[in-house]
Chain A
Amino acid sequence: MSTQIRAQAEAQALRVRSGDVELAVKVYGDVKRPVVVLVHGYPDSSHVWNKVVGPLSARYRVAAYDVRGAGESTVPTHTAAYELEHLVADLAAVVDTVSPEQPIHLVAHDWGSIQSWEAVSTERLKGRIASYTSISGPSLDHAGYWVMQRLRSAAPGEIAKVATQLMHSWYIGAFHLPLAAPLAWKLGLDQLWPKLLERFEGIRGESAPTQSSDGQHGVNLYRANVAKRLLAPRERRTSVPVQLVVPTRDRFVSLELLDGIGQWVDQLWRRDVSAGHWLQLSHPELVVRYVSEFVGFIEGAEESAGLHRARVREGVKPGKNNKYAGKLAIVTGGGSGIGRETLLSLAEQGAEVVAADIDLAAAQRSAELAELLGATAHARKVDVGDAKAMEALAAWVGNELGAPDIVINNAGIGMAGNFLDTSTADWEKILHVNLWGVIHGSRLFGKQMVAAGKSGHIVNVASALAFAPSRMMSAYATSKAAVAMLNDCLRAELADQGIQVISVCPGVIDTPITGSTRFVGVSEEEQGRRREGAKKLYQRRNLKPQAVSAAILKAIDNNRQEVLVGSEAHGARLLSRLSPALSRRLARMELSL
């Protein structure tokens, strides 16, 4: 906050002349730093960037200006004065003033983004723009091509996409009605606006002082440009590096409009954020981070891991081998069994992966195998039940790699034997890993995912024993039942954020866990014998970790809430529902291993 106040205090107000109009420009930050120019959309003014200019100006020289017709800039009265070429000329005038020599980094939202596409793909500002971060505003020409290509394909699915986009754009039609929109703003929509934003977009904030005027006059942007460009689009290509920041829950721009954008842009990055249209208001830190990483990279710093994942590779079509391209997955217990197998399956299909395991060598081995499959992979040592260790892991992930898209809390230990023989230490040990590990992983990474607007997946591995009681497995089954309940509660909580929580309940899976399961209340020798017995049983069942990893990936792809693996898991589930009494009766059976 203090940087924000300081930066605001240092803001320098300029008036820049562009033809007949005068533009209000505010400039922040150190004169010697690279220059970032912010362009707002409709019905906003430069006010809309208030939450990002502070932190951004701590790193860069930042200029935010009111587009013609908005804020404190001149308001031309003729619709024709709002045509894109004038808007580009305005931007050029601002750029020439705030950075006469060095090319600037453009960051634009909504209509600002629409006009900036024009700026990066036409001659006027050639060589003057070093990078472009576009938030929620496509090029009208690209959109025109998008519509044409789909209509020409005559494929019902493609035409339906056009229809969907038209529905998203109802307001554009409304804006073309004489009087209607300006009248609404005059009659007090400006007063209502903050409430509408809060109600529909979940954004709290005060109204800009010029909101009513911004709303009335900005309508001309649509009237002057939309029909003209959509009906007769021109090819708009750019060699300026472009970072798309895409709010996936945008009510005003549909995601499909961005399909095929790679054909127009040489170097493209894309970051999806599960958020609404006004990202700079709902996720200011994220916007600052994304802009900083991108500008930093273009200015010569190393490409951050997150940016690297976001790179859209030309000619790489989404398919079986890169389904998870651009995604980051963390797998606890990733050094063996189900964890390793799931990690490798994700890596095989393009994900960047982090193998976290208490056995560092095992985690490193998993990472090495993931790299052989072509993935970027990391290995970290962690005791999942140790809050500090997990916080350190999460901090490392957050700083170095960015928020994960997929978190698999898989680390677990086995325990068997009578409840009365299970000591406090035994209980603490199993809950430490099986429950606390899941709690820490879900909490720490869940927070990161929410903050970064990741509509990802948290996969918590429970067990069929979560709903199949057994006198032999009270500690283990209890720990897993707790995980299953945590999953159900967490799923409800994170649904609003678009984060899926998946409960995995494997049956009898042949993994190394059998070799380390603790058998309470028996001698070392007897424990060894029972481990052997358990191992044999599990081997005879011959259900491999691959079966679980395949089920997990399928659940991720299909947004399933719960996956059962193995007929015994399905049977136990059915029994617990159809005849809980029988299920409890069976719990009394003593299986001799």
Chain B
Amino acid sequence: MNEASSKIAGKAAHKADSNGWDPAIADLDGFRQAQQLAYRCAEAIADELIPGMTEREAAALMQRWLAANGANDCFHRPFAWFGDRTAFRGFIGFRHFGGFNPAFYPGNRKLEENMPYILDCAPTLNGYTADIGYSGCIGENRMLDKLMDDLLEYRVLILELVRQRKQLSEISQAVDRLCARHGYEPRHKAYPFQVLAHRVEKLDADEKKHRSVLNFGVRNIARLVGDVAKGRREGWSPLWSSGHASDHAPTPGLWAVEPHLGFRGVGAKWEELLVVTEEDAFWLDDDVPQVRRWLSRGLEPLAKAA
């Protein structure tokens, strides 16, 4: 695995030098298509969710939908969380097993009326990987609405600070502070390595089905491991958190950014690809469900800023 990953890392260095990354339009289109596929999947399965369904059933539905719609690999297999599991309540307290917290594996929690849910999937389409998060509920949940409204500020804040070329750790800490001000828990800290975001890289396009181990796609994780090794040499990290490893300016490339907020037993997140170039940064696609939702709720001025 190590050998393989360093080989891939070498290839990555050749293809997308972090010191001079200039995304090809075609590549961005590829990533955008993958992200749109992922969001279409989340929306399609969200429509199919009914009370009584378990997280595992929802995750399996997403997996089938993605496979049927052309995804042949993934960063991770689809996740689904229901009820207070959307807020990872309790799990944030203990150190994950070496940065690996099994709490996010889909379980047997059954969906109920007015219960929040999160669908999270990361398909690879034609070698392009997206990673998205989608929050919702069947019925009504005022608290969830509030969290989802407030998530807009995070989208604005993160982009603004990346454009200012602030250090990634500083940006993550600014997100922590915004959470504190809002009275929310930054639940993305329950993710492996407490990441606010992680890199995704372009893989070779092919038709065959690729393996995943422990629900994580082998090729994508290998690339991430490669990035870790490469980043260590070059002084950056593909795992963007509040820690020292992220004490560096935004690294050009694609980042799957996933602020995840929790308040009491309710959690909400979105996850989108952020494109960082040498000079600038932008969200890969503004036509995503959360932005459409903010617009429809009249949170337009801020959404425009986003």
Contacts and interface: CB of A to CB of B under 8 A. Distances in A.
Interface in B231-288: 263-264
Contact of B183 (A348, A369, A542): A369
B16 interface: no
B264 A348 contact: yes
Contacts of A366: 183
Contacts of A336: 180
A159 interface: no
Nearest to B144: A372
Contact of B181 (A344, A365, A372): A365
Contacts of A512: 180
A362 B180 CA distance: 10
A344 B264 CA distance: 10
Interface in B157-197: 180-183
A377 to B, nearest CB: 12
A436 B144 CA distance: 40
Residue with the greatest number of chain A CB neighbours at <10 A, chosen from B143, B146, B181 = B181
B183 A344 contact: yes
A373 B180 contact: no
A346 to B, nearest CB: 13
A142 interface: no
B142 A372 contact: yes
Interface string A353-384: 00000000010011011001100000000000
Contacts of A128: none
A340 interface: yes
Contacts of A362: 181
A67 to B, nearest CB: 53
Contacts of B93: 542
Contacts of B181: 362, 365
B26 to A, nearest CB: 44
Nearest to A515: B177
B92 to A, nearest CB: 10
Contacts of B182: 365
A339 to B, nearest CB: 11
Contacts of A369: 183, 263
Contacts of B180: 336, 512
Nearest to A365: B183
Given A372-B142, A372-B143, A542-B93, A340 B183 contact: yes
Contacts of B264: 344, 348, 373
Nearest to B143: A372
A344 B263 CA distance: 11
Nearest to A362: B181
Contacts of A373: 143, 264
A425 to B, nearest CB: 28
A372 B265 CA distance: 12
Contacts of A368: 146
A362 B146 CA distance: 16
A342 to B, nearest CB: 12
B156 to A, nearest CB: 18
Contacts of B146: 368, 372
Nearest to B266: A372
B258 to A, nearest CB: 22
B187 to A, nearest CB: 14
A7 B141 CA distance: 55
Given A373-B143, A542-B93, 5 more contacts: A340-B183, A344-B264, A365-B182, A372-B142, A372-B143
Interface of A: 336, 340, 344, 348, 362, 365-366, 368-369, 372-373, 512, 542
5 contacts: A365-B181, A365-B182, A368-B146, A369-B183, A372-B143
Please list the 9 inter-chain residue pairs (A to B) with the smallest Cβ-Cβ separation, ordered nearest first.
A369-B183, A372-B143, A372-B146, A372-B142, A340-B183, A365-B183, A512-B180, A366-B183, A365-B182
